């Protein structure tokens, strides 16, 4: 039974949907979740005005972590 609970928690929290970086609250360079006001950990993205992706990355405890990818705009 414990294994099922652990697997269920991993699926729920491991597959969290990325959120728009612009919705996060920035306090002195540390990012907070807008709904819970807690340090944000998870994937983020930002889209350009035309809808194309500008960047994606992730935060852990409100700070950037890991690989971040930016896409250049084509004029």
Note the pLDDT tens digit of each residue in 27-55: 999 999 999 999 999 999 999 988 899 99
Pair type for strands 53-60 and 63-70: antiparallel
Q: pLDDT averaged over the chain?
A: 87
What tokens were used for 41?
């950990």
DSSP notation for 57-68: EEEETTEEEEEE
The 8-class DSSP code of residue 21 comes to G
> In this model, does residue 68 exceed pLDDT 60?
yes
**What do you get for the CA distance between the two ends of the chain, in Å?**
56
> In this model, does residue 58 exceed pLDDT 90?
yes
- The average pLDDT across 16-30 equals 94
> In this model, does residue 12 exceed pLDDT 60?
no
For residue 51, give the nearest of 73, 24, 34, 68 by alpha carbon. Answer: 73
Count of Cβ atoms closer than 10 Å to residue 62 Cβ: 20
> In this model, does residue 8 exceed pLDDT 80?
no
The residues spanned by each domain of the chain are: 17-70
């Amino acid at each position: 039974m414990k294994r099922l609970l652990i697997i269920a928690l991993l699926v729920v929290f491991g597959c969290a949907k990325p959120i728009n970086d612009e919705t996060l609250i920035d306090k002195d360079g540390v990012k907070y979740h807008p709904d819970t006001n807690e340090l944000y950990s998870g994937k983020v993205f930002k889209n350009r005005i035309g809808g194309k992706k500008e960047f994606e990355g992730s935060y852990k405890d409100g700070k950037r972590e890991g690989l971040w990818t930016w896409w250049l705009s084509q004029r």
